[in-house]
Amino acid sequence: MDRMKKLFDMPFASVYPHYVTKVERKGRSVAELRLVICWLTGYDEAGLASQIDSNSSLAIFFDNAPQINPNADKIKGVICGVRVEEIADPLTQKIRWMDKLVDELAKGKALEKVLRD
């Protein structure tokens, strides 16, 4: 469980640049990345920027999220060797949903499919 606490305490601001690097390396834009994160969490641009600036942990980032998208449960697949739809811990699942969406974006999946609306 120590590993999970470490993950939960990790600042979102330290994870976000890795997402940016990942999507840009694959020819996707920061605007698309931000759209995907906002879709999942309900943050608007200002709210997302505020979370990055505040150096909030991933736990606080998701606790403060205005609303997890009701279609988030449609996010399926494997991340870090685990099926995201089978993750029991709600916070871990939200973090892995975000990882999965970023992976799909970086792999060139159409934005409309990534957003699952």
Tell me the CATH number at 82. 1.10.8.290
Q: How far apart are CA 47 and CA 38, in angstroms?
A: 9
Confidence of residue 1 (pLDDT cuts 50, 70, 90): low
Structural domain containing residue 75? 2-115
Give CA separation, 112 vs 83, 104, 105, in Å: 22, 11, 10
Q: Number of folded domains in the chain?
A: 1
Reported pTM:
0.93
pLDDT per residue over 15-74, tens digit each?
999 999 999 999 999 999 999 999 999 999 999 999 999 989 999 999 999 999 999 999
Structure token pair of residue 27: 């020819």
User: Residues near 104 by Cβ (< 8 Å), separated by ≥ 6?
Assistant: 113, 114
